Structure 1
C-alpha cells in the first residue's frame, strides 16, 4: 500500500494533508489540555499524537521533496490547528467566570440567574453614572453563550466580560452550578421559566 501511495503524487498529497490534520489536531488539544491543567486528558492526547506520528508522519516527512507535498503539509498543519481548537470547543472543558455590570434596578438579576442554576456572587460599586450592580457568575464553558444570551434577555444594556479561571476551590460556586436547570431552559423563554420557578417556590412554601 505504501508503494501505491508513493507512486501516485496526488494520493501522496492527500495522505500528507490528512495525516497532518490528525497529528496537529491531537497536538493542539494536548497543548490546550496541558495549559488548562487536565493532566490525564493531556496524557491521553499525547499517546494518540505519538501513535499518529510513528505510523503516519514518518511517511509524510520522507516525501517532502516535492513542492506540492510541502504545500499539503503546510495546509494540513494549519487546518489541524483549527480542527483541534474546534474539537476542544466542542468538548468545552472547565468553567468560565462571567463578570457583569448592570444598572438595572427593577429586576433582581443576581437572584434570577441563581434560580436558573448559575453560581452568582454580586455586590455594588459606583461608576461615572452612579451605583451599579456587579456580578461574578460561574458557568461550565459549554453554557457560556447561553448565559450571555440570557443576561441580554434580562438586561440588554449589561456590560459583560468573560475569563477562564486557572483554579477553582471551595465555596458555594462548585455546588451552586446546577447543570440540570442550566440545560433545561432556552434564553428566549427565560421570562416564562423564571415565572414557573417562582410559582413552584410559592407552592412549596404554602405546603410547609
Structure 2
C-alpha cells in the first residue's frame, strides 16, 4: 500500500509539472519551462523506475495511471492560480453609447470600440486587453453594466504597441523590473455580490445613466 501511494504522488507531481511546463512554453516563457523540465525529467525517471521494478503488482499500474489523470487536473488548477499572461476580451453590447467603454477606461483597461450591425440593429463592439489576473474583475464590470452582453475571450500570442503595452512598460520601469511581452451562460469569476457593489459606485451610476439617457434619446429619434 505504501508503494502505491508513493507512485501515485510521484506521478501527480510529474504530470502537474509537465502541464505547467507546456503552458509556460505556449506563453513564450521558455526559460521557466526549461527549469521545470529538468525537475520533471528527474521525477519521471524515478516514478517509472518504481513501476518497472514492481510490475508484478497490478495496483501499482493503476496508481501510475490514476496519478497521471490527477496530475493533469492539479497542474491545470495551479496554472489557473498563477494566471500567467494576458487575454483579449471582445464584448458586444446593445448599449451603443460610448459611456460603457469610457467607464472601462476609467478603471484602467485598454479599450478599442466601434459600432457594428447585428441581427437586431446596431451594437457596440469593444476589444479589451487585460492581464489574466484581472479578467474576473473585468467580467464583473461588464456584466454589471450590461447583463445581456455577449462576451468572448481568447489568449493573444503576440502583441506590440498601443496604450496597454505602453502602460505595462511604464509600470515595469517604476518597479525596477524588466518588461516582458507578454461555459455556456456563465463566465468564470462572476460574483453577484461584487456586481452589486460595482453598481452602487457613484462613477458607475453616472456612466450608466448617461448610457440609458442616450439610448432613450436614440429611440425617441427613431
Q: TM-score range by the shorter chain?
A: 0.7 to 0.9
What is the aligned partner in structure 2 of residue 50 from structure 1? Answer: 41
Provide Cα deviations, 1:22-56, integer angstroms capped at 9, x if missing partner: 01111111111112211112112112212323444
Aligned counterpart in structure 2 of residue 149 of structure 1, from 140, 156, 174: 140
1:158-177 equivalent positions in 2, closer than 5 A: 158-176=149-167
Aligned counterpart in structure 2 of residue 22 of structure 1, from 10, 13, 20: 13
Partner secondary structure for residue 25 of structure 1: helix
Bigger drift between 79-88 and 45-54 goes to 45-54
Contact kept? 1:146, 1:187, Cα under 8 Å? no
Report the Cα distance in structure 2 between the residues aligned to 1:74 and 1:106, rounded to whole angstroms: 55
Query: CA 1:144 to 1:19, structure 2 compared with 1: closer, same or farther past 3 Å?
Result: same
Aligned residues: 183
Aligned counterpart in structure 2 of residue 124 of structure 1, from 94, 115, 125: 115
Report the Cα distance in structure 2 between the residues aligned to 1:123 and 1:106, rounded to whole angstroms: 10
What is the aligned partner in structure 1 of residue 72 from structure 2? Answer: 81
Query: Structure 2: any 5+ residue segments left out of the alignment?
Result: 172-193, 207-222
Report the Cα distance in structure 1 between the residues aligned to 2:167 and 2:198, rounded to whole angstroms: 19
For the pair 1:61 / 2:29, whether they are aligned, the reply is no
TM-score if structure 1 supplies the norm length? Answer: 0.80
Aligned counterpart in structure 2 of residue 190 of structure 1, from 186, 198, 214: 198
Structure 1 outlier segments of 4+, above 6 Å: none
What is the aligned partner in structure 2 of residue 205 from structure 1? Answer: none
Query: CA 1:64 to 1:194, structure 2 compared with 1: closer, same or farther past 3 Å?
Result: farther
Contact kept? 1:95, 1:138, Cα under 8 Å? yes
Provide Cα deviations, 1:71-111, integer angstroms capped at 9, x if missing partner: 11110000011111111111111000000001114671101
Shift of 1:173: 2.1
What value does the CA root-mean-square deviation take over the aligned residues? 2.4
